[in-house]
Amino acid sequence: VQTEAWRTYFIQKIYIWSEYIRSSSILLFLHMAEFGNQVEIVIQNCENYSLDPFKPTPTHFSTYAEESFPKPLLFGKWAMDFECTEISLKDHICTKDAVIFLPHSGKKFCAKRFGKSKCPIVERLVNSLMMHGRNNGKKMMAIKTVKDAFDIIHLLTNENPAQVAVKAIVNSGPREDSTRIGKGGAVRRQAV
């Protein structure tokens, strides 16, 4: 464990595990002791605390609130907390609900109808790069390609490259309009 953010994350997880270990006769808490690069988890008997599950836990654990944890960043650099501005594509471009570190979730998004809309948009971009026989199954290569492309986009525009990718998808989307087709009085609208 190198960074303070990961220490905080582990302490929060340990606190959650300690809530599951509660019993009617004894209260157990997990403590984390760090020795160099190794982390050791110690189970301690804390009988002096209240056994009532509805009372708050000791104060040295309550300081680690859920809000204090860092949000996952795409490739460890860019936030995915923006929204698609195009109304027609908002339901199909998933950015806010699918917060990921890497575009490699391994989920089956095709199991349900419109399941692809739940897939993170960057992962859909990576999956589309794996097409054609010579690229099938090479997801790590596709991830590296997208990461390098995002780095270049960030250097050129100084913006969030995931947001730039979503703007590009919105701009490349089809536009639909209708025109009048017909002779004489019989005129009908035709989508173009």
Report how far residue 141's alpha carbon sits from residue 122's, in angstroms, rounded to the nearest whole number: 14
Is 35:26 a contact under the CB 8 Å cutoff? Answer: no
Q: Which residue has the higher pLDDT, 112 or 96?
A: 112
Q: Please enumerate in sequence order all residues whose Cβ is within 8 A of that of 108, keeping only pairs 6 or more positions apart, or say none.
A: 115
The type of residue at 45 is: N
**pLDDT at position 83:** 78
**pLDDT at position 61:** 47
pLDDT, one tens digit per residue, over 11-61 is 555 555 545 444 433 433 434 444 444 444 444 444 444 444 455 545 444
**pLDDT at position 30:** 39
Q: Which residue has the higher pLDDT, 179 or 69?
A: 179
pLDDT, one tens digit per residue, over 67-102 is 556 778 888 888 888 878 888 888 888 777 666 787
Upper half-sphere CA count for residue 47 (Cβ side, 13 Å): 2
**Mean pLDDT throughout 173-186?**
78
Q: Please enumerate in sequence order all residues whose Cβ is within 8 A of that of 27, keeping only pairs 6 or more positions apart, or say none.
A: 45, 46, 47, 49, 50, 51
pTM here is 0.56
Q: Where are the beta strands (DSSP E) in the chain?
A: 28-35, 38-45, 178-183, 186-191
Report how far residue 120's alpha carbon sits from residue 69's, in angstroms, rounded to the nearest whole number: 22
**pLDDT at position 85:** 82
Distances (CA, A) of 136 to 5, 77, 84: 36, 27, 30
Superfamily of domain 73-178: Ribosomal protein S7/S5 (1.10.455.10)
**pLDDT at position 159:** 92
